[in-house]
Structure 1
Amino acid sequence: MSDEAQVGRPSVESRRQQILDAACDRVRQSGFHGASMAEIAKAAGLSVGQIYRYFENKEAIIAAIVAQDLAEMREKFAELEREPGALLDALEAHLPDGVEKCFDPKRGALVLEVLAEAARNPKVAAIVREADKQERALAQSMLQRSRQPEWSDAEFEARGAVIGLVFDGIIMRAVNDPDLDREALTKVIRVVMRALLS
């Protein structure tokens, strides 16, 4: 047992998560520019000095937020790959949950803020692009089960990119039209995915 655990202090991981949760909350409220380290520290119930023990700067916090999202995606892809039968059947079974997640206003606000910051800040752009590269590699690895022999590498990559575009687009559509009929949307996305993967 660690010294921290023995005296009842939070672990490094739990402290980092506490800071990330506070940062996500502040970013949703004020954007990255408006979410100062002082505000993040206040929301986390910590001092600014304590924040800097765990994160060098705001870019490091953004990198951790992006890495956390990528880890969740990696888990979801692994879950889909473990399911028996056709990949398309597994994707369709999980589609309603995926659509619902895209309509989560907290998620939408955070995703759009990260992208907006990436458009302004080259350091954040590098973080986001590297995460996107990893996400596409994971998706392509999973989608190999549905790859048709006549598809060139470029076409296979483009089909995967269109699936990604659909879900990225749902996040934006959810901001503009939060009352969109999700059941009807899910039904149409099923048709699109079948066309892309068969």
Structure 2
Amino acid sequence: MNLPNILTTSRIIMIPVFVVLFYVPAGWHLLASAAIFALAAVTDWLDGYLARRWDQMTPFGAFLDPVADKLMVAVALAVLIEEHHNLLLTLPAMIIIGREIVISALREWMAEMGKRASVAVSFIGKIKTSAQMLSIIMLLANPPHTALSGVGVVLLYFAATLTLWSMILYLRAAWPDLFPRMIKE
């Protein structure tokens, strides 16, 4: 167990803490849950940076890092859907969660075929992740129907648009392997 793996594991441990803080009946619950999510977002960046910088990449970290990221984002979006209970926020949240499931399955399938590199993380994915994390932090920190919450929703739509775009790029890269007969004909 190295520091990058400890940071990754800490994100999973933060999930129940985040949920409990979100639902604590106190005036500070939104800021506390947003702070925990922001801390998780920082550890997401930091664990990868340190693993590469210190050459401490491990199979365990390669497996757990994307799992921790997707769990934290999906749980945060789920509590926000419940909190806002409207289509305006639910639609981009569903797009983001759905894309993560599709791309995770695609990466697993491509890895089984020995072609994991053809669906590697792209620069668009990094921008999408940054917009997504910032929007979720804004939405968590502010009650629904406020100006800052509105900015968070706009950012979430931007993230969802990039999510669809990056999914299309991933699917295009995998297309020849998904439909080999169509390509040959």
Compute the TM-score of the two structures, normalised by the length of structure 1. Answer: 0.37
Q: What TM-score do you get using the length of structure 2 for normalisation?
A: 0.39
